[in-house]
Homo-oligomer: A and B are copies of this chain.
Amino acid sequence: MHILITGAAGMIGCKLTARLVADGALHGRPIDRLTLLDVGVPPRPENFAAPVEAVAADVADLSAAAAAIAGRPDVIFHLAAIVSGEAELDFEKGMRVNFDGSRALLDSIRTTGGGYRPRLVFSSSVAVFGAPFPEAIPDDFALTPLTSYGTQKAMVELMLADYSRRGFLDGVGIRLPNIVVRPGRPNKAASGFFSSIIREPLNGEEAVLPVDDSVRSWNASPRAAVGFLVHAAGLERDALGPRVNLTMPGVCCTVAEQIAALRRIAGDKVASRIRRETDPLVARIVAGWPSRFDPRRARALGFEAEASFDEIIRVHIEDELGGRIAA
């Protein structure tokens, strides 16, 4: 099986690559070729027997998209995107990367011909939804995004469904929750603080909380996100039907509850490293995001997230900190 990952140098892309390399197979089929694509050359996994191509390419460039598809990958994980904060600040860049890049990829697949119909797993986002919301958002709720990032993701979801319906490809869109705790340094995502307020205190550093601690969100770990992507790659087309875009399960909690979980797991001293400093842009963006879902279809199809925010923190400590917490 030949697998292509776009956005392979990103956090999720790296973790997905590591998971696939560790498994050596996807849903029982050995991986005999891996193509990793990102705007910079993605890191090449060590100790993997099969051929790996690591390509620096801009997916919004039609010839780059066509070149990536020329190898006729069986499964494509399309993760390449610029994040919400950046898409809000630079409208044209967001449209070019998040929308035109996805369209170039989909159209390269469509025009390949010869019966080529790969599984394409698209990482969408719960930012496709925009307030006001019901108490718990059902699977058939309208997409009314309040950011350009969410708009671009929603537009690609629509294309993905139509291209799948027409038989051009075999798409699954998964709407990722807030992914916490992200390792590494802060990025430009408006949601970045959700990770910072757990990660930095656990590393002995101060973190800034730019929103009120009553803010509620829908969360899953990076490990769960990789699990969603892998699970999506193996879904039966008939089980999915024409509504190919699915809201992923997650843990609903407030920032206050997240801080309380941190305190339970790591103690008062760690939790006291969070400093409050409101950022109006971040607060406005996050206020329009959804925080509680009733994702029945994804659960019925076997997608699983953590059961509590405590578990999300423990996954971070296991996967990133070798099981240890700084005092």
Q: Name A's B-contacting residues (CB within 8 A).
A: 91, 130, 134, 139-146, 148, 151, 154-155, 158-159, 161-162, 165-166, 242-243
Contact = CB atoms under 8 A, between A and B. Distances in A.
A284 B91 CA distance: 39
A243 B139 CA distance: 19
A7 B289 CA distance: 37
Nearest to A88: B166
Contact of A142 (B142, B159, B165): B142
Work out how many copies of this chain go into the complex.
2
A143 B158 contact: yes
A165 B284 CA distance: 13
B145 A151 contact: no
A151 B143 contact: no
A139 B141 CA distance: 10
A141 B243 CA distance: 13
Given A130-B242, A144-B242, A243-B144, A158 B151 contact: yes
B158 A162 contact: no
Contacts of A91: 166
Contacts of A161: 144-145, 151
Nearest to A110: B91
A143 B134 CA distance: 17
Given A91-B166, A140-B144, A145-B161, 4 more contacts: A139-B142, A144-B161, A144-B243, A148-B162
A216 B69 CA distance: 43
Contacts of A159: 151, 155
Contact of A158 (B134, B139, B141, B155): B155
Contacts of A155: 155, 158-159
A143 B242 CA distance: 12
A154 B157 CA distance: 11
Q: List the 9 shortest-distance A-B pairs measured between CB atoms, nearest first.
A: A151-B162, A140-B142, A155-B155, A151-B158, A144-B243, A155-B158, A154-B158, A148-B162, A142-B142
14 contacts: A139-B142, A141-B141, A142-B243, A143-B143, A143-B158, A144-B242, A144-B243, A145-B161, A146-B165, A151-B158, A151-B161, A154-B158, A155-B159, A158-B158
Contacts of A145: 158, 161-162
Contacts of A148: 162, 166
Contacts of A144: 140, 161, 242-243
A257 to B, nearest CB: 27
Contacts of A154: 158
A141 B208 CA distance: 37
A259 B166 CA distance: 34
Contacts of A130: 242
A148 to B, nearest CB: 6
